[in-house]
Amino acid sequence: GAVVSQHPSRVICKSGTSVKIECRSLDFQATTMFWYRQFPKQSLMLMATSNEGSKATYEQGVEKDKFLINHASLTLSTLTVTSAHPEDSSFYICSARLRPQANTEAFFGQGTRLTVV
């Protein structure tokens, strides 16, 4: 299957600092990527849809000024958690779908465990 790579896999940062998470499609071009947040033992909550060359679309309740998304190329989307607080600590995971012509599976990155201290 297609490969989506996410970096870093783990990050610890101090309150008030910003953290950037990268999501790359390694062997395909992804005009659209998705960012999810997962709390322990809970489901994947969609945060936003990242669109190459245009603004991201955020789900209701997600602060776009706090979670900055940039999709500057067909293979890279970044999520920046700005002014991080301990409550932002979570597992963040991205995904991308392969083809526009038909409904296809989403391939997930390996996730990033963010801990804000």
Partner 1 sequence: GENVEQHPSTLSVQEGDSAVIKCTYSDSASNYFPWYKQELGKRPQLIIDIRSNVGEKKDQRIAVTLNKTAKHFSLHITETQPEDSAVYFCAASQGNFNKFYFGSGTKLNVKP
Return the range that interacts with partner 1 (CB under 8 A); candidates 14-22, 70-78, 80-88, 105-113.
105-113
> If you count DSSP H runs as helices and E runs as strands, how many of each does the chain have, helices first?
0, 11
Q: How far is the CB of 90 from partner 1 (least distance, A)?
A: 14
Strands 4-7 and 90-97: unpaired
Shortest separation between residue 117's beta carbon and partner 1, angstroms: 20
CB-CB neighbours of 48 under 10 Å: 22
Reduced to 3 states, what is the DSSP secondary structure of residue 77? strand
- Contact positions toward partner 1, by CB under 8 A? 1, 31-32, 34, 36, 41-46, 49, 60, 93, 95, 97, 99-103, 105-106, 108-111
